[in-house]
Amino acid sequence: MDLNRVQMFAQVVEQGSFTAAAKVLGLTKATVSRKIAELEADAGVQLLFRTTRKLKLTESGSAYYSKVHRILTDLSNAEDQLSANQELIKGNLSIVCPIELGQLFLGRIFARFLERYPDITIEAELSNRKVDVVEEGIDILFQITSTTDTRLQSYDLINTSKTLMASPAYLEKFGTPVNPRDLQQHKGIRLKSAHIDASWTLFDGQAWVTYEPEARLTVNNVTLAREAAIEGLGIATVPDLIARQALDYKQLIPLLEDFPMAQTKVTICFPQRAYLPRKYRVFIDFIYQSLSENTDYVLLDIPDFVTLADKPEQ
């Protein structure tokens, strides 16, 4: 049995096309198509119906896929278990995280982590795009939202506190809002990305209310929004951590502090696996350890394999 051809066949079935399977496997469409044809020729049976629009399993193909899927899953689980139990922790971690989150603290955490585990390498992408962890072969995803992808294991790390802010010059010119309704008379800097809604949601003392700011500038980066707000362009929603220096130097003034904004969560996600490789476990444990050392953060969901000294009862 040529295991490579079997894996290609499984990917074609799971991805729904030769093109998508080739992308996942890092091969050309022609190579994948040829290998599946070879598999069918050796087996003496047609496994797939090929049309211009889609692929469909034959009856024999469906039965074959059911069997090889179980075998490939067992092989993957065996590899994961071997990785989970190995003494030497090594390998590469492909990590994607929001730009601002990476800029704030992940660089220093990565450096300390790699110093502790010299046989691990990290490929990190800072991006606010929407990521398909499984299709892109990502190991770890940080995001500022909860996931509904059932293929992923997800833990809520921390809440992010954010506040409406504006520069003294802007407030001197346009006045300071004293209740959420006043926001309708102000200019905003809209922050919008794949995971961030541009609207402002606050608790007015009775209910959560949402306002759509009138804005001449819409951005997908909170640091850019902060800088535009410092220049007096309008009111921006800025996480307290990112605004700390601007607040200390009175470049920005927090607004409507008696009317809290809805918090968002930072989550960590990775593909569902029967056995979690040790490189995953030690990295996630290190993230939790690092966050627990900072009193600004309150940890939310804590995995069973994380070993915090003061870990609360689950």
> Which pLDDT belongs to residue 206?
85
Q: Kindly tell me the sign of the dihedral angle through the C-alpha atoms of 20, 24, 30, 31.
A: negative
Which is nearest to 285 in space by CA: 297, 266, 268, 273? 268
Structure-token pair, residue 5? 């051809």
Q: Contact at 8 Å (CB) between 236 and 164?
A: yes
Q: Global pTM?
A: 0.64
> Which pLDDT belongs to residue 124?
93
Q: Which residue has the tokens 């066949």?
A: 9
CA distances from 239 to 101, 120, 132, 223, 264 (A): 11, 32, 26, 10, 10
Question: How far does the chain reach from its first CA to its final CA, in angstroms?
Answer: 47
Q: Measure the CA–CA gap between 287 and 127, rounded to whole angstroms.
A: 19
> Which pLDDT belongs to residue 254?
95
b/e map 156-186, b = 16+ CB within 10 Å? ebbebebbbbbbeebbeeeeebeebeebeeb
- Strand partners for 255: 164
Q: Residue 279, SS3?
A: helix
pLDDT tens string, the chain, 314 residues long: the values are 567 787 788 888 888 888 887 887 778 888 888 888 888 888 788 888 876 666 788 888 788 888 777 776 766 666 655 555 555 688 899 999 988 778 777 888 999 999 999 999 999 998 878 888 888 889 999 988 767 788 888 999 988 778 899 999 999 999 999 999 899 899 999 987 656 667 888 888 888 888 888 888 998 888 899 999 999 999 999 887 788 889 999 999 999 999 988 777 889 999 887 678 889 999 999 999 998 887 777 888 898 888 886 554 44
